[in-house]
């Protein structure tokens, strides 16, 4: 299966809108987990698998492949890491993380702040 591409229909949208392609890509199983867990620097496949806890090696391999094709993750001598584009994505996600803390406290009375530690 190829990664979602702007200009083509994706899960949940036939419009071809680039944001819908991005949401489809990031909505795949463990895609956001891989991106989030790489924000603190490069790591090997096994280290990344450990950071993602319950991810299977085959799913991790697929997500890395998808995210590399989308220029969000790259492989270096130190392992896998976010590209410049991937770091920009994390910077845009941080306000969502902060918003979700307020939302979780106000709507669900959930106060575990450690969930979004960088």
Asked if the structure places residue 98 within a domain, the reply is no
Asked if the structure places residue 37 within a domain, the reply is yes
User: What domain count does the chain have?
Assistant: 1
Asked if the structure places residue 1 within a domain, the reply is no
Asked if the structure places residue 92 within a domain, the reply is no
Asked if the structure places residue 91 within a domain, the reply is no
CATH number, domain containing residue 50: 1.10.10.10
Asked if the structure places residue 70 within a domain, the reply is yes
The predicted model scores a pTM of: 0.86
Beta carbons of 39 and 73 less than 8 angstroms apart: no
- Going by C-alpha positions, the residue among 57, 61, 58 that lies closest to residue 69 is 61
State how far the Cα of 3 lies from the Cα of 79, in Å rounded to an integer. Answer: 22
Q: Give the three-state DSSP class for 79.
A: strand
State how far the Cα of 46 lies from the Cα of 32, in Å rounded to an integer. Answer: 18
pLDDT in tens, the chain (118 residues): 589 988 888 888 888 889 899 999 999 999 999 999 999 999 999 999 999 999 999 999 999 999 999 999 999 999 999 999 999 999 999 999 999 999 999 999 988 655 555 4
Asked if the structure places residue 115 within a domain, the reply is no
Asked if the structure places residue 47 within a domain, the reply is yes
* Structural domain span for residue 75: 18-83
Output phi, psi for 75, to 5 deg. -105, 135
């Amino acid at each position: 299966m190829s990664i979602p591409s702007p200009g083509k229909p994706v899960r949940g949208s036939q419009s071809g809108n680039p944001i819908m392609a991005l949401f489809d890509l990031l909505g795949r199983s463990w895609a956001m987990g891989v991106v989030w867990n790489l924000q603190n620097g490069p790591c090997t496949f096994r280290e990344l698998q450990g950071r993602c806890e319950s991810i299977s090696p085959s799913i991790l391999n697929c997500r890395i492949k998808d995210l590399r094709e989308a220029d969000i993750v790259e492989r270096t001598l130190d392992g896998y890491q976010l590209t410049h584009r991937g770091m920009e994505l994390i910077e845009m996600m941080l306000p969502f993380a902060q918003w979700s803390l307020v939302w979780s406290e106000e709507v669900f009375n959930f106060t575990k702040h450690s969930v979004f530690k960088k």
